Structure 1
Amino acid sequence: MKKEQDYIKDITEIRSMMERSTKFLSLTGISGVMAGIYALIGAYLVYRFFYRNSSTDFFTTVTGGEINGSLWNMIFLAFAVLILSVGTAVFFSFKKAGKSGEKLWNASARRLIINMAIPLVAGGLLTLVFLTKGLFALVIPVTLIFYGLALTNAGKFTFEEMKSLGIIQIFLGLLAAYFLEFSLLFWAFGFGVMHILYGIYMHLKYEK
């Protein structure tokens, strides 16, 4: 007869198989760390070349003017940070999936992407509306809040810890909306510091 330890081992393996079939577990801690580093660099560049040298403080004035060249540069920088972060996540997820003998693009990945895309697309469109209306100061809080909603949704289809990260991002977004003069600082903490801490935690917990 099987020993009790053997039954426990079988149950653990079955549970692991079921979890892999329903959740996307190819995300890596290093991709979170790199995303945080990209965000911190981006925030510094925005502060150094846009925020400090801007004649109109878009981060403390709710209504701004037309989108000028400097603001377009800031938008381009934000897209660059996004592309680098997504590209890094895909690269390391592809490597992790290959090592475990799994496909990167599967049913769980599709569910994850769809549930993240809904709040992200909505937040992106709302950001464009704010930009066209000159409501530049609200862009940073909106990106934090809708990104947090996306992570909270994603937590149902990947690691549970992502829900906690999402809630923190939403909270930081609300603070950024109230304290507009510190909104860039909240953005740097949310997208930068929190991603680095989250990535380190996930690496130590799941990848060591």
Structure 2
Amino acid sequence: MAKIHPIQPLPPPEDQEPSLDLHARAMDNLRFIRDTMERAGSFTALSGWGQVVIGVTGALASWVASRQASPENWLATWSSAAVVSVLVGVLTTAMKARAARMPMLSGPGRKFMLSLAPPLIAGGVLTVFLFRAGLVELLPGMWMLLYGAGIITAGAFSVSAVPVMGLCFMVFGAAALASPVAWGDAWMAAGFGGLHVIFGTLIARRHGG
């Protein structure tokens, strides 16, 4: 007569816990490695050719602004140029990031944007109050100082050329404040025009467009 072997019961659920814990630990380690690489990386999706286009926009704006008969028209010219420049910067950077198959708002990219935004917002608020106080002559220097400060802080998460450009903007801003009022548009052309073209070309050639 054949011997009947008893059916072995399934292992209790607690015997399966070690494998589940191991899987969870592996996922945590992968997440930690990914986050660390993002923090250590630099934001290379900044479009150099986009900066060149912004520079050309700044040069044209300085030429148009210098021919305006009223402070209101002068401010409207530069405000329009600022809006166009922001749109160009965002669009070209998004295009470069997409071509490189990297998220524009990755760890370094998000930090770049968040570091740049506060000085720009402060510049917008100060513009309103300085213009109302009739201190239009201070705007070119103030704009370049705050923009340069924002570029330096944001450049900590980008390629090395970016903070150097920010430092140049701060130097130009200080020089504009110390120069005669009539030189304001010339300093703006050199800064928002020339510096963007020079450093944009450098970024485009060394960092993929």
Fold-level similarity (TM above 0.5): yes
Match of 1:201 in 2: 202
Q: After superposition, what is the alpha-carbon deviation per residue over 1:42-68, rounded to whole angstroms, capped at 9, x for unaligned?
A: 0000112x1xxx4xxxxxxxxxxxxxx
Q: Say yes or no: does 1:31 pair with 2:50.
A: yes
Which amino acid in 2 is paired with 1:46? A
Deviation for aligned residue 1:24: 2.1
Relative to structure 1, the CA distance from residue 20 to residue 91 in structure 2 (aligned partners, 3 Å threshold; closer, same or farther) is farther
Q: Say yes or no: does 1:91 pair with 2:110.
A: no
SS at match of 1:105: coil
Deviation for aligned residue 1:196: 0.4
Deviation for aligned residue 1:144: 0.7
Deviation for aligned residue 1:113: 1.4
Q: Say yes or no: does 1:146 pair with 2:146.
A: yes
Q: For the residues of structure 1 that align with 2:197 and 2:207, how far apart are their CA atoms?
A: 15
Give 1:56-205 correspondences, 5 Å limit.
70-180=70-180, 181-205=182-206
SS at match of 2:80: helix
Q: For the residues of structure 1 that align with 2:39 and 2:194, how far apart are their CA atoms?
A: 29
Tell me the TM-score normalized by structure 1.
Answer: 0.77
SS at match of 2:207: helix
Please, which runs of 5 or more residues in structure 1 have no aligned partner? 1-13, 55-69
Deviation for aligned residue 1:204: 1.4
Deviation for aligned residue 1:21: 6.2
Please, which runs of 5 or more residues in structure 2 have no aligned partner? 1-32
Q: For the residues of structure 1 that align with 2:74 and 2:61, how far apart are their CA atoms?
A: 9
Range moving further from structure 2, 140-149 or 18-27: 18-27
Q: For the residues of structure 2 that align with 1:80 and 1:159, how far apart are their CA atoms?
A: 28
RMSD: 2.0
Tell me the TM-score normalized by structure 2.
Answer: 0.77
SS at match of 1:207: coil
Q: After superposition, what is the alpha-carbon deviation per residue over 1:94-116, rounded to whole angstroms, capped at 9, x for unaligned?
A: 12111221222233222111111
Q: How many residues align?
A: 174
- 2:56 and 2:197 in contact (8 A); partners too: yes
Aligned residues: percent identity?
25
Match of 2:12 in 1: none
Deviation for aligned residue 1:202: 1.0
Larger radius of gyration: 2
Q: For the residues of structure 2 that align with 1:133 and 1:32, how far apart are their CA atoms?
A: 32
Relative to structure 1, the CA distance from residue 34 to residue 115 in structure 2 (aligned partners, 3 Å threshold; closer, same or farther) is same
